[in-house]
Structure 1
Amino acid sequence: MNGIEQVNAMPPQEFLAAFGDVAEHSPWVAREAASFRPFAGREAMIASFAHALRAANRDAQLNLIRAHPDLATRAKLTQDSSKEQAGAGLDSLSPDEFARFTALNTRYRERFGFPFIFAVKGATRHMILESFEARIGNAPEKEFETALEQVCRIFRFRLEDRVSP
């Protein structure tokens, strides 16, 4: 785990190598966040990642959201996504639970045009399913905003795992 002093001292390519995967398949977020260095602390670093996402245009935001995998999928996941989904028990679903997630993923994608985003760290599969059921009825703009909020939570969890306070 790096301290903030080490993070601030990293050359740009080293920073990108260390944090370019915090935003799912979207290293541009880390590249933009790096421009706010030196960070006063880990919270400032987390805020810089969120700011980079929020300052991007809608197409870039949508592409980042679409880069996330469906929850409980059997597709190849990034190391972070695999660990996070396993922590929520999504790697050990019963056949009925897997079928329910698959059906919800399909309905959600058809309705919104992007995958359901939920920062699963610390959540149970039941909490995730409840949120899925509640959010699938949201208006598209509200759900887009909720997806961005969840992406920012994912940034927080991933950076807290990599950078000491």
Structure 2
Amino acid sequence: MSNQTLNPRPSTLGREAFVVQYGDIYEHSPWVADLTWQRGLGNEQDTPPGLAEAMGQTLRDATPEQQLEVIRAHPDLAGKAALAGELTDDSTREQAGAGLDQCTPEEMARFERLNDAYKSRFGFPFVMAVKGNDRHAILAAFETRLENSRDEERLTAIEQINRIARFRLEARLGA
């Protein structure tokens, strides 16, 4: 599936059409799509892996402040926004796919404690590409990543966000 060409091919889209089509891949951050388009697209960006790499490089090349804006645009995992039904459709599907909508009250309390501790330590929410993980693996990753430095964790979050973007592009192709 991942070798298929996206339709319409991203390299053939004008700037506005590209941002309309791909501006939501990065949570509330259409500037990533816009800047990716400005950097130039070729045939190699017409597949999900190729486009994911180009968009991911845009985010990796961004300033730390821009990266933090993208990280902060993400909701807490199993957090208040999820409980209130305020997540984007993509985030809702991703969190439900990892079973975060089936947490016990004890697990919810643990997520809340970890979310608070993480944000207190780093100043941004914990971000993890949850596809292929369950809530137990996510909780374990939370605890491990709390030991990172702020810079290590910012870079880890960016790579996790790029994984999320690739999964979203692959899902969009399959839809």
- TM superposition score category, shorter chain reference: over 0.9
**Deviation of 1:14 (Å):** 1.9
The corresponding residue for 2:76 is 70
SS of alignment partner, residue 102 of structure 2: coil
Q: Deviations over 1:39-89 (max 9, x none)?
A: 324222111111110111111111100110000013111111011000001
Instruction: Check conservation: 1:22, 1:155, Cα contact below 8 A.
Output: yes
Does residue 1:4 correspond to 2:3, yes or no? no
Q: Deviations over 1:100-141 (max 9, x none)?
A: 000000000000000001001111001101100111111111
With the length of structure 1 as denominator, give the TM-score of the two structures.
0.93
User: Which of 149, 153, 160 is equivalent to 2:170?
Assistant: 160
CA distance in 2, matches of 1:142, 1:52: 19
**Deviation of 1:10 (Å):** 2.4
The two structures, once aligned, show a CA RMSD in angstroms of: 1.7
The corresponding residue for 2:36 is 33
SS of alignment partner, residue 91 of structure 1: helix
Does residue 1:113 correspond to 2:123, yes or no? yes
Structure 1 residues 5 and 86: alpha-carbon distance in aligned structure 2, compared to 1, 3 A threshold: closer
SS of alignment partner, residue 70 of structure 1: coil
User: Which of 119, 136, 146 is equivalent to 2:156?
Assistant: 146
CA distance in 1, matches of 2:166, 2:30: 16
Instruction: Check conservation: 1:15, 1:34, Cα contact below 8 A.
Output: yes
Give the number of equivalent residue pairs: 164
- Uncovered stretches (5+) of structure 2, i.e. residues with no partner: none
SS of alignment partner, residue 4 of structure 1: coil
- Uncovered stretches (5+) of structure 1, i.e. residues with no partner: none
**Deviation of 1:5 (Å):** 5.4
Identity rate, percent: 46
User: Which of 77, 94, 108 is equivalent to 1:84?
Assistant: 94
Structure with the greater relative contact order (CA < 8 A, sep ≥ 6): 1 or 2? 1
**Deviation of 1:94 (Å):** 0.8
